[in-house]
Every structure is written in structure tokens, then in C-alpha cells.
């Protein structure tokens, strides 16, 4: 039986991965945040791989490690997590009344029971359009505390949703993990348990 | 003080409306499900208005009633809630490996404290792309019980999310209430309380 490890401490990624795996472990990578990549899509792939490799390197036996990294790109600026409230204010002022991209890189590293190993890296991008916000709305949102642990200083699934006009692409990618693309890859690579059959309802008949 | 009433029993709409109003009442309309409208966007607007009017007609004093109706349109077929498991199977088979539209109509009816009344009706459409699903995946999803109370036989926020390739438009519109558009309309119509100030953090300084 292959162990599954999520190399991220994000509670949002944990919840999303539960859509795919009932049981997995969480071992957050510290993550080497330095990347020489110029393109944001290369950068998130690279940072996701740093995280996955950090955990994979410590493990023996059959294992699948999932690393992920999310950034926000607005007007050519790459936005990570805000350093403080002023930084959150700067980011939200840039995002309001504007379109931006959210990019998540995912790196899968695995060793099967037969000892064979493999790697799969992909990225998913989503365009997000935000309604114009008043200065008071920006301040009120920062006061909720939601921005501080999130790339781009907002969480699409929280109270910020009333400012999100629309998106193009995967919603869960903005939350932090492109769960449908991940499920697709894991199925293709045969890294997923067969769905449990419901006796009498499904299966061979 | 104007009372706010959501004319829907959907727990998903209730949770979404909490993003806008801290306090509101829930009085589910039975809803007249008959519409002569040909276009789906006219139909959801009309059905949302039936629901709002049913509740508004019973109320006196300052009140805002919010009615909403959601349908799924795939290959020219309008899908409401499935009648039974076979119906859910039919709908999911139509949606898998395909694009469809989710349309939510919203009707606002209000009476202000000065006795003046008003009505605002709008609709929001979102395109949803679903990955191909195996027969087993369709069966397994039906076995979760999630499809039965939802238009189109799926909930985008549940375990079905692993099959949703991407969307174009409002995500919460697919959940059941286009909350950002609604917030925008309510602000424009001055039907919303001013955001609460956080002393020392926001306000006049």
C-alpha cells in the first residue's frame, strides 16, 4: 500500500485533497522560496517541486508526495502571502476593479511497491475578475484577518467572495489545489485507489 | 429597520447570503414552477419572481424579499432537480465530458421605511466544463446522495468538484446564488447596511 503525503500545511489543500484520498498524511515542507524562473508558471512548478523533493527525500518505501505552490499575478507583479497589513492593503488595492491570474504548480513524486519511481509536474492557471472596492471595503476585509496567510491577500472561499465578479478556469485552483486536474493526473498515472464499490448498487452486474 | 427575508430553504443560499447580511429570516416559498418563458434566462427570472412575490405578498412593514431559482441547461435541455436516481443518472450522463450552463435568476422586492416600494430582477449565467466520467464514477457519485436536491443532479462544492474541469463566470452562481452580483445590486439600490466600522481600525481618521 502506497502512503500518500501532502507536503503542505494549508488547511484548504487538506480539505480539497480529501475529495480524492480518504487517508493521507500531512508533512508540511519548509520550502525553498527562491526561484530563478522568469515566467510565473515556471516559478510555481519549480517551487512545488522544491516542496515535494524536500519531503520525498526523507521517505523510504512506497510513497506518493504531493507538493503545491500558489501565486497571484496582477499587472505583471507576483504576489505571494502579505508580510503585514500594509502589504495586504497594497495587494488588495492592486486587485480591486481589475483582473488577475492565480497560478498553482503541482509536483508529484512517487515510488511504487515494485520500487519504480516517477515524477509528474503541472500547473493550472485561473483568471479572476474582482469588482471595484471602496477603501472602507478593503479595510474591513483586512480587519477580518483572512488575508494574512493567503497568496494575493484574499481567500476566494471566504467573505471576499462578494467582491469576485467571475473567474475563468478552475475555482479550486484559486483555493489552492486544482483538484480536478490532480484527480485526472492521478487516475492517468494509476496512482489512485479504485473508487469503493457500493454492494448491490454498483460493481459487476 | 428593514427586515430581510430569503424566500428559499436551500442551506447553500443561506450560507452565501450570510456573506452579505448578518441577520435575515428564511421563509421558503413553495414556488409556482410553471413558466411560459421559452428562454432559460427568462424562465429563471420568472420563477425567482414567483417565489419572491409569494412571500412578499404576506408581509407588511419595511421588508426586503430575495427570491432565487437555479436551472442547468445542457444540449438544449433544461435540468431541474432529479426526480429519482434514474433521473440523476440521465442528467449526469448528459453533463459528463461536456459543457453546460448554470443560470440563476434573482428577484428583489422591497418596501422601505418611508413606504416606497421597488423591484429588481437579474440573472447570472456560468459555463461549466465537466471531465469525462466513467459509468462507475457516475454510479458512485449518485450513491453519495448529493445529487438529489440539486439542479442538474450535482453540487459543485461537494465531491463532484473533482470532475469539474473549469468554469467561466461566477462560481457561487453555480452553488445557487450569484453573491457578488447580488451584493453589487444591493449596494447600488442602497438596500444594504453600511459595513460595520472597526473602532481604531477604520472610519473617520
SS (H, E, C) chain B: CCEEEECCCCHHHHHHHCCCCCCCEECCCCCCCCCCCCCHHHHHHHHHHHHHHHHHCCCCCCEEEEEEEEEEEECCEEECCCCCHHHHHHHHHHHCCCEEEEEEEEEEEEECCCCCEEEEEEEEEEEEEECCCCHHHHHHHHHCCHHHHCHHHCCCCCHHHHHEEEEEECHHHHHCCCHHHHHHHHHHCCCCCCCCCCCCCCCCC
Q: Which of B137, B164, B201 sits opposite A195 (nearest CB)?
A: B137
B180-189 average pLDDT score: 97
Is the CB of B167 inside 8 Å of chain A's CB atoms? yes
Chain B closest CA to A162's CA: distance in Å? 4
> According to the model, what pLDDT value does residue B113 have?
95
pLDDT digits 0-9 by tens, B151-167 = 999 999 999 999 999 99
Cβ distance A168 to B167 less than 8 Å, yes or no, reads yes
Name the pLDDT band for B37 (thresholds 50, 70, 90): confident
CB contact under 8 A, A140 and B196: yes
Task: Express each pLDDT in A144-163 by its tens digit.
Answer: 999 999 999 999 999 999 99
Looking at per-residue pLDDT, the higher value among A192 and B111 belongs to B111
Counting one residue from chain A and one from chain B, the pairs whose CB atoms sit within 8 A come to 95
Q: Which residue is catalytic, options A23, A69, A86, A149? A: A69
Indicate yes or no: CB of A164 within 8 angstroms of CB of B171.
yes
- Tell me: the pLDDT tens digits for A24-41? 999 999 877 778 888 999
The reply to whether B69 belongs to the active site is yes
What is the average pLDDT value for chain A, to the nearest integer? 92
Q: Which residues numbered 81-120 in A keep a CB inside 8 Å of some CB on B?
A: none
B169/chain A closest Cα distance in angstroms: 4
**The three cell numbers locating residue B37:** 418563458
CB contact under 8 A, B167 and A171: yes
Mutate to test the interface with A, among B20, B95, B166, B196 (most CBs of A within 10 A): B166
Interface probe, candidates A95, A99, A139, A166, chain B, greatest B C-beta count within 10 A: A166
**Digit-coded pLDDT (tens) for B98-132:** 999 999 999 999 999 999 999 999 999 999 999 99
**Residue A81: C-alpha distances to residues A146, A157, A177, B91 (Å):** 11, 16, 16, 41
For a pLDDT cut of 90, what percent of chain A falls above it?
87
Asked if pLDDT for residue B30 goes beyond 90, the answer is no
* Banded pLDDT at B35 (limits 50, 70, 90): confident
Instruction: Work out the mean pLDDT of chain B and round it to a whole number.
Output: 92
User: With 60 as the cut, is the pLDDT of residue B205 above it?
Assistant: no
What pTM does this model have? 0.89
pLDDT per residue over B39-81, tens digit each?
A: 999 999 999 999 999 999 999 999 999 999 999 999 989 999 9
For chain A, helix (H) and strand (E) counts, in that order, are: 6, 7
In this prediction, residue A37 carries a pLDDT of 84
Q: What percent of chain B has pLDDT over 90?
A: 87
Higher pLDDT pick, A165 / A193: A165
Torsion B114-B25-B13-B53 (CA) sign: negative
A120-134 pLDDT tens trace: 999 999 999 999 999
Between the CA of residue A80 and those of A147, B9, B102, B184, what are the distances in Å?
A: 11, 39, 32, 28
So what's the pLDDT on residue A193? 65
Between A164 and A76, the more confident residue is A164
* B183 contact residues in A (CB cutoff 8 A): 162-163
Which chain A residue shows the shortest CA-CA distance from B158?
Answer: A19
Inter-chain touch B137–A196, beta carbons under 8 Å: no
**What number is the ipTM of this complex?**
0.86
Interface of B with A in 20-49 (CB under 8 A): 20
Amino acid at each position: 500500500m502506497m502512503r500518500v503525503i501532502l507536503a503542505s500545511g494549508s488547511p484548504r489543500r487538506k480539505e480539497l485533497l480529501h475529495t480524492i484520498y480518504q487517508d493521507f498524511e500531512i508533512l508540511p515542507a519548509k520550502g525553498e522560496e527562491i526561484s530563478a524562473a522568469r515566467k510565473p508558471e515556471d516559478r510555481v512548478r519549480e517551487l512545488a517541486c522544491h516542496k515535494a523533493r524536500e519531503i520525498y527525500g526523507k521517505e523510504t518505501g512506497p510513497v506518493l508526495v504531493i507538493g503545491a505552490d500558489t501565486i497571484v499575478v496582477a499587472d505583471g507583479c507576483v504576489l505571494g502571502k502579505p508580510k503585514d497589513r500594509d502589504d495586504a492593503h497594497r495587494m488588495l488595492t492592486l486587485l480591486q476593479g481589475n483582473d488577475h491570474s492565480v497560478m498553482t504548480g503541482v509536483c508529484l513524486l512517487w515510488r511504487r511497491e515494485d520500487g519504480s519511481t516517477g515524477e509528474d509536474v503541472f500547473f493550472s492557471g485561473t483568471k479572476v475578475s474582482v469588482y471595484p472596492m471602496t477603501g472602507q471595503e478593503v479595510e474591513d476585509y483586512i480587519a477580518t484577518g483572512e488575508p494574512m496567510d493567503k497568496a494575493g491577500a484574499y481567500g476566494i472561499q471566504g467573505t471576499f467572495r462578494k467582491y469576485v465578479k467571475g473567474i475563468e478556469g478552475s475555482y479550486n485552483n484559486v483555493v489552492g489545489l486544482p483538484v480536478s486536474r490532480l484527480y485526472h493526473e492521478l487516475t492517468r498515472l494509476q496512482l489512485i485507489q479504485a473508487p469503493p464499490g457500493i454492494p448491490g448498487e454498483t460493481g459487476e452486474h
